[in-house]
């Protein structure tokens, strides 16, 4: 009986330490936004459990940068806590089984919008790097079009402009107006 109470106390203490650590949410991770953090959490869990991203559900937030994600695993629903820490670590802990806890390093990219991680599991054949970015807004798309316009060679730009001009009917000032 004392072993049970000792292990329960140890489990409660580790859970308390995890919650306190998770509440100190990452400024770097928050700069990337909730969408990128949640996407990174789901992608790492997908790799860890070798499941499709569509099998994970978002339950809610336990604090700033701390997400609760659900998945059907090991013949029952499981919930995972996932937190992006300020020191560039992603902490995952299973709320159902408790012994499962992983710490994965991540890095924000140069502009701080996307988060990159490298994680592989022996059970899962996918070994590509993980990249999580927030969804693009209309402003981002316009900016990308503006940037890519001048990257093209100038003869290509001139040819496109010439074709656009020839596609429109030309107005002739000296010709009589048609009724």
132 SS3 class: strand
Give per-residue pLDDT as tens, 72-83: 877 788 888 998
Give per-residue pLDDT as tens, 137-160: 788 778 877 777 777 788 888 888
- Specify the higher pLDDT residue, 107 or 29: 107
DSSP state of 90: E
Domain ranges of the chain: 7-134, 136-166
Distance CA 51, CA 58 (A): 15
Q: What percent of the chain is helix, strand and coil (3-state, nearest 5)?
A: 40, 25, 35
Max avg pLDDT among 62-76, 140-154, 163-177: 62-76
Distance CA 66, CA 68 (A): 7
Could you give the dihedral angle defined by the CA atoms of residues 119, 35, 140 and 107, in that order, rounded to the nearest 10 degrees? -30
98 SS3 class: coil
Q: Which two tokens stand for residue 161?
A: 């402009």
Tokens 């390093």 correspond to what residue?
105
First-to-last C-alpha distance (Å) of the chain: 101
Distance CA 100, CA 114 (A): 27
Beta carbons of 34 and 54 less than 8 angstroms apart: no
Give per-residue pLDDT as tens, 35-59: 888 889 999 988 888 888 888 888 8
> In the prediction, which pLDDT does 140 show?
76
Tokens 């306190």 correspond to what residue?
20
Q: Which two tokens stand for residue 111?
A: 């502009």
pTM over the 0.85 mark? no
Residue 128 has pLDDT above 80, yes or no: yes
Displacement of CA 142 from its chain's centroid (Å): 22
> In the prediction, which pLDDT does 35 show?
86
């Amino acid at each position: 009986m004392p072993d049970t109470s000792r292990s329960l106390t140890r489990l409660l203490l580790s859970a308390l330490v995890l919650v306190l650590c998770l509440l100190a949410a990452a400024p770097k991770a928050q700069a990337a936004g909730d969408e990128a953090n949640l996407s990174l959490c789901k992608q790492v869990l997908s790799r860890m459990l070798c499941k499709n991203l569509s099998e994970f559900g978002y339950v809610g937030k336990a604090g700033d940068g701390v997400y609760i994600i659900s998945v059907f695993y090991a013949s029952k629903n499981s919930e995972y806590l996932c937190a992006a820490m300020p020191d560039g670590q992603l902490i995952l802990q299973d709320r159902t089984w408790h012994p499962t806890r992983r710490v994965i390093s991540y890095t924000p990219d140069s502009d701080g919008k996307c988060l990159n991680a490298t994680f592989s599991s022996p059970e899962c054949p996918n070994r590509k790097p993980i990249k999580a970015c927030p969804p693009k807004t209309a402003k981002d798309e316009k900016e990308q079009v503006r940037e890519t316009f001048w990257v093209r060679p100038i003869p290509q730009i001139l040819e496109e402009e010439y074709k656009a001009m020839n596609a429109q009917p030309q107005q002739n000032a000296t010709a009589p107006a048609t009724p």
